[in-house]
Structure formats: C-alpha cells, structure tokens
Amino acid sequence: MSVSLRKARTIIRKTLENGHEMELKPLSVVVLDAGGHVIAFEREDGAAPGRFAIAHGKAYGSVMLGMAGTAQMQRAEAQAYFMAAVNGAYGGQVVPVPGGVLLRDRKGAVIGAVGVTGDTSDNDAAAALAGIEAAGLTGEI
Amino acid sequence: MSVSLRKARTIIRKTLENGHEMELKPLSVVVLDAGGHVIAFEREDGAAPGRFAIAHGKAYGSVMLGMAGTAQMQRAEAQAYFMAAVNGAYGGQVVPVPGGVLLRDRKGAVIGAVGVTGDTSDNDAAAALAGIEAAGLTGEI
Amino acid sequence: MSVSLRKARTIIRKTLENGHEMELKPLSVVVLDAGGHVIAFEREDGAAPGRFAIAHGKAYGSVMLGMAGTAQMQRAEAQAYFMAAVNGAYGGQVVPVPGGVLLRDRKGAVIGAVGVTGDTSDNDAAAALAGIEAAGLTGEI
Amino acid sequence: MSVSLRKARTIIRKTLENGHEMELKPLSVVVLDAGGHVIAFEREDGAAPGRFAIAHGKAYGSVMLGMAGTAQMQRAEAQAYFMAAVNGAYGGQVVPVPGGVLLRDRKGAVIGAVGVTGDTSDNDAAAALAGIEAAGLTGEI
C-alpha cells in the first residue's frame, strides 16, 4: 500500500481545516512517500517563506529513521550528539520535533510521513494527526 | 501582487488536467513565490520519486535569474560553463531547460515561477503555460 | 509593499550613524527582501572581514522563520538541538541572536529583515532598530 | 592601500549611474576587499532576487585567482574542466565571465575586486570600469 496523490491532498486539506478550527497560525504541510520523497506540499498565505524546509525536515527524519517526531525529540533530549550526527549523515535535512508524523498501513509498515509546521510543535502534530485520520489513515506522532 | 495558495492550487490542477488532455506522462508541478520559495507542489502517481528536485530546479533558476527555462537553455547551449558556474553559486539547485516558467504581473514584474517535469521539456512547458493561463495569469516559457 | 534600494540605503546609513552616536565598534549592516535575498550591505572600515556572513545569518533566519533574533535566541536557549536542526535545513546560514530585526508593513506582514553585527548582540539590535525607525519603518528585534 | 567603505560606495554609485547612462537593465554591484570579503553591495529595484550570488561570484573568482573576468572566461573556453575544478576548490563560488573586475593599486597589487551583473557580461564590465575610474582607481576587466 502506498500513499496516492489523492490521499496526500486529502491529508493536507484536512490538516489545514483542522488548523483553522484550532485557530492555529498559518500552517505548511508536506506528505512524503515510503522513500522520503515529496508527494505534495502546501504553504498557507501568511506563513514565513522558509516553511517548506521545516515541514520537510520533520517528515524526512520520520521516514528515514522510522521514528516519529516525538520519539526523535526524546532521543535528541537524551543524547543530542547522536541526533546531530544522524542529521549529518542525512545531509542536515532532519528536524527532530513533533509535527513529523509517520503513516503506517494496517500491518504497521511505514508508507510515508506527514510534516507540519507553523504553530507550536505539539499543535502542529495534533493538526497533522486529525488530518491523517480524516483521510482514513493511521498516524504516529 | 503575489501568488496566493488558492492561485497556486489552480495552476497545479489546470497544469495536470492539461497534461492528461495532451496524454503526457505523469507530471510533477511546483509553484514558487517571488523569492523562490515553495508555495505548493504535487507529484502524480506513477512519476519517479525524485521529481520534486527537478520541478523545483526549473522554477528556482527562473526566479533567481529572472530568466525562464527556454532562455536558460539557450545560454547553457551557448556558454555551458557559465550556467554551470551560476548553478554552483545557487547551490546546484538550477535545472536550465524548458518547463521553468516565469509568472509576471500586469506590469511585467516577476511574482513567482512554475516548474513542471515528467514528459519532454517542451511538453512540460506547454502544460505549465496552459495551466497558468487557465488561472488567469501570464507565463513566460 | 516592498523595501526599495533607496529605503535600504537609508536604513544602513541611519544604523551606522546610530552606532557612531552610541560609540559602538565598527558595524556591518545587511538589508534583505521578503524572500531573504540581499538588497544592500555595508561593512565599516575596521570591522573583521567575515562580517557579511554574520549580518546575513541574523537577517536570513529572521525572514525564513518569520521570527526575529531575540525570539530565535530564546528558542535556541530552550531547545538548542531544534535551532541546530533548523540551521541544517537552511544550509547553515542562520545566526539566531539579537541583531536580526524583522521589517513589517502596517498590516504586520514581513517585508524583509535587517542584520547588524560588530558590537554586542543587544547593541547591534538597538542600532538596527534606530536605523529602521529613522527610515520610517517598524522593526521587531 | 586598501579599499575603504567610502571608496566602495563611490564605485557602486558611479557604476549604477553609468548603467543608467548606458540604458542598461537594473544592475547589482559588489565590492570585495583583497581577501575576497564583501565590503558593500547594492541591487537595484527590478533586478532578479538572486543577483548577489552572481555579482559576488564574478568578483570572488577575480580576487581568489588574481585574474579578471575576461581572462577567466578565456581560460574557461580553452579548458572548461580546469575552471570547473577551480570552482570546486572554491566552493562553487566562482562565475568566470566579464563583469568581474580587479582593483589594483599604483604598483599593480590587487586590492580588491568589483562584480557587476544584470545586463550582458560585456556591458556589466564596461559599467564597472567606468565606475572604478570615476572613483579614481584602476580596473582590469
């Protein structure tokens, strides 16, 4: 099972709708496939210009390590030099905080990840999770 | 005048529709703002995983140089080492071929760019142009 | 609304004048546009040769994150690995301390940033703010 | 003898004035010191956002190699792989075409360089040379 463009669009639309309901700041949302490659991205009007790199970094680390943003943050807090080294190995493209959410199929296999940025990391993750569930998928924050 | 997310979505949707009508291979489409930063991106099912970087590279060089893909290709063919050097100065992120299309406002100022990849460069550019015009904007291929 | 070269020159001249009045060390000042791209820069005689990168890094992070230097420093002090990761995502070009000052229009939209370096970070920020106000703009330190 | 900020400002102002008289497209002008570090830069309204990197690349290669833009271009045309390799050694920051102009003192020692971009390479170089001479210095294109 893979994430289709249609599914990715739904995740993004529902995540943004959720951000509006939660009255969050303008969000940016990326959906990556099982190889960590971009399927779709949207940045809301009013978001800072550099948000693609942050959204991407949250999702990319999730896929590449098979570890969602919360777990990455815990590892970074326990052993900062390890996550710094991992980041070096991944070309500096990992942003290890909540808002990077793993997508899994029914058997638990990772099929991609969602990255959300714009509000607090916890709110970013909550909006992503709601968007993923509205699209009929299971997220791991 | 700037490109809103709503406008960017329309450009992408219309470019993909156009690709279907022209019976092109699966396309990937990015829309950048006037600073070369990503507003929105979509990659169709069946496209190769690395298409984001190609679409982005076509649009990014267009914005940064103020020169659309066709003009970049002509310069690259006339003076290959110059475009190679420019690319170094821009971190290797420039793909100087058709499919990078400048967006201009009514006064001619660059307000962003569209990058399309997936079929031949000329077909990519044609699909982008049709999508841009369907969104009520003017494109320069 | 965007920052013209004329406006950027005024900001730089007034920031340098302010540094002289405050008897600061030689300053370097950069003005970036809303996409994080350089409009103008000046380094005073006697400043260290590497000051462009520091001034640029203060202003660049401000624009890309939509967060001025003081807020970036607070985030870096609270969660060092996060700002380190953000910096990786932005190619190592972010210097998260005061002296990076956001420029906003009357509606609050970010239209660019000023980066100042040479004295203490707080003095750099104070000189920038005075320069920005002398140019009729609003700064956020 | 070194290039003061006052001198750099004059070079930039005179180069831009010259561009206006020659009816060139909007120019961007950088002045580097004898170590290849930025003293001052200005980008005219209407120039593409990425012009700093091109102006810098023309001047940087000139200082680092002690060879002005025209000579760099001749070398690139005669031996493209050599200039490509040089560029790798200099972090991809060299743009080997006219518009990179060496500044020399009366004894012929290199004291810095000027980089101009925006119009054709030859017009860029001509504007720079006129600006340098108006500032009482000698340029080598």
d(CA C62, CA A10): 32
Distance (Å) from the C-alpha of residue D48 to the closest C-alpha of chain B? 5
User: In this model, does residue D22 exceed pLDDT 90?
Assistant: yes
A110 vs A37, A68, C110, CA distance in Å? 13, 11, 38
Residue D109 pairs with which residues in a beta bridge? Answer: none
Cβ of C91 under 8 Å from any chain B Cβ? yes
pLDDT value of residue B68 = 98
Test B5 with A43 for CB contact under 8 angstroms: yes
Residue with tokens 């290849």: D36
SS3 C110: strand
pLDDT value of residue D13 = 98
User: In this model, does residue D93 exceed pLDDT 80?
Assistant: yes
Among chain A residues, the shortest Cα distance to B40 is held by A42
Test B89 with D84 for CB contact under 8 angstroms: no
**Tens digit of each residue's pLDDT (9 = 90 or more) over B99-126:** 999 999 988 899 999 999 999 999 999 9
Residues of chain C neighbouring B33 (CB-CB closer than 8 A): 35
| Overall average pLDDT of the D5-32 stretch | 98
Domains and CATH numbers, chain B: 5-140 (3.30.450.150)
pLDDT value of residue C90 = 96
Cβ of A7 under 8 Å from any chain C Cβ? no
Test C44 with D9 for CB contact under 8 angstroms: no
Residues of chain D neighbouring C57 (CB-CB closer than 8 A): none
Question: Which partners does chain A have (≥3 C-beta pairs < 8 Å)?
Answer: B, C
Task: Give the closest of B5, B38, B42 to A5, CB-based.
Answer: B42
| Overall average pLDDT of the A5-30 stretch | 98
End-to-end CA distance of chain A: 20
Question: Which partners does chain D have (≥3 C-beta pairs < 8 Å)?
Answer: B, C
**Tens digit of each residue's pLDDT (9 = 90 or more) over A67-115:** 999 999 999 999 999 999 999 999 999 999 999 999 999 899 999 999 9
User: In this model, does residue A50 exceed pLDDT 90?
Assistant: yes
Distance (Å) from the C-alpha of residue B45 to the closest C-alpha of chain D? 33
Q: In 10 A of CB C2, how many CB atoms? A: 15
pLDDT value of residue A74 = 96
Cβ of B17 under 8 Å from any chain A Cβ? no
d(CA A129, CA A138): 8
Among chain B residues, the shortest Cα distance to C37 is held by B35
Orientation of helix B80-89 relative to helix B69-78, angle to 10°: 120
d(CA A111, CA C37): 37
Tokens describing residue A17: 């709708």
Test C92 with A93 for CB contact under 8 angstroms: no
Number of Cβ pairs closer than 8 Å across B and D?
63
Tokens describing residue D61: 């290669």
When the pLDDT of each residue in chain C is averaged and rounded to a whole number, the result is 96
User: In this model, does residue C27 exceed pLDDT 90?
Assistant: yes
ipTM of the prediction greater than 0.85, yes or no: yes
**Tens digit of each residue's pLDDT (9 = 90 or more) over B43-55:** 999 999 999 999 9
pLDDT band with cut points at 50, 70 and 90 for residue C106: confident
Residues of chain B neighbouring C91 (CB-CB closer than 8 A): 91
Distance (Å) from the C-alpha of residue B35 to the closest C-alpha of chain C? 4
pLDDT value of residue D84 = 93
pLDDT value of residue C1 = 77
Cβ of A60 under 8 Å from any chain B Cβ? no
User: In this model, does residue B1 exceed pLDDT 90?
Assistant: no
DSSP state letters, B48-86: -TTHHHHHHHHHHHHHHHT--HHHHHHHHHH-HHHHHHH
Distance (Å) from the C-alpha of residue A39 to the closest C-alpha of chain B? 5
Residue A140 pairs with which residues in a beta bridge? Answer: A102
Cβ atoms of C120 and C66 closer than 8 Å: no
What percent of chain D has a predicted confidence (pLDDT) above 70?
Answer: 100
Among chain D residues, the shortest Cα distance to C48 is held by D37
Q: Based on the number of CB atoms within 10 Å of its own CB, is B50 exposed (0-12), middle (13-18) or buried (19 or more)?
A: middle
User: In this model, does residue C11 exceed pLDDT 80?
Assistant: yes
d(CA C77, CA C121): 15
User: In this model, does residue D1 exceed pLDDT 80?
Assistant: no
Tokens describing residue B42: 């979509």
Select the residue from D75, D86, D97, D122 to test the B interface by mutation, using most B Cβ atoms within 10 A. D97
Cβ atoms of D103 and D111 closer than 8 Å: yes
pLDDT value of residue A80 = 92
